[in-house]
Structures are given as structure tokens and as C-alpha cells.
Amino acid sequence: MTASAQTATPALPQQQANAGPAALDEGRSTFASKCSHCHGPNMVNAGTITPDLRKFPDDRERFFSTVKSGKNNRMPPWGDLLSDDQIAALWAYVSSRRNP
């Protein structure tokens, strides 16, 4: 793998599963400022069309793709606004709160 590919590739699932408090705090902060207005505080939505992220599948690639590219004109793309590291921290936070 090239150095540029390593830079562009988000953290591996094992690294995210063991995310430290700093990553979780960054993910919580990013969620509060960028996501909570649609997905609700603490990932509990208010009956909108947005999914309950506590039930999001344990699928990091799908999460990254959706955050970066948006989905079905319902979710805007965030790839130009959030770095891979921010999305990785966001995934660490969301996946730490999963309740399938």
C-alpha cells in the first residue's frame, strides 16, 4: 500500500473498536455539531426520516461511504467538510453506542 493510500484509508475496525477517550470525545463533538440536528441528540431522532444510528449496522465501510457521499437526497455529503480522521472518530462514537 502506498503512503498516500495509507493516509486516505480510515482506521481499521480493530483500531476503532479500541478507540480511546480522545477519539470518542471528538466523535461526540462532531456528532453534536454536524449530525444531531437531523439524527437527534444522543442519536435518538424525533420521528424524522433519518435512521436511528444506535441501530446502524456494524458496517464501517457503509458508514464512511454514506457520510462522505450522502444518501438519496436525504443526507447531504460531508466528504468536503469532514476529514477521514473526523469521520473515523464519528464512527468510533456511533459504533460505541450501537444497540442492535
Write down the pTM of the prediction.
0.76
Name the band, by pLDDT with cuts 50, 70 and 90, for residue 6: very low
Q: Which backbone phi and psi does 75 adopt, to 5 degrees? A: -120, 125
The CATH code of domain 15-96 reads 1.10.760.10
Q: Domain segments of the chain: what residues?
A: 15-96
Average pLDDT over residues 71-100: 92
Whether 12 contacts 71, CB under 8 Å: no
Q: Is the pLDDT of residue 11 over 90?
A: no
Backbone angles phi, psi at 71, to 5 degrees: -155, 125
At CA 12, angle to CA 62 and CA 65, rounded to 5?
20
pLDDT, tens digit, for every residue of 23-74?
999 999 999 999 998 888 888 776 667 888 888 889 999 999 999 999 988 8
Q: What is the pLDDT of residue 95?
A: 92
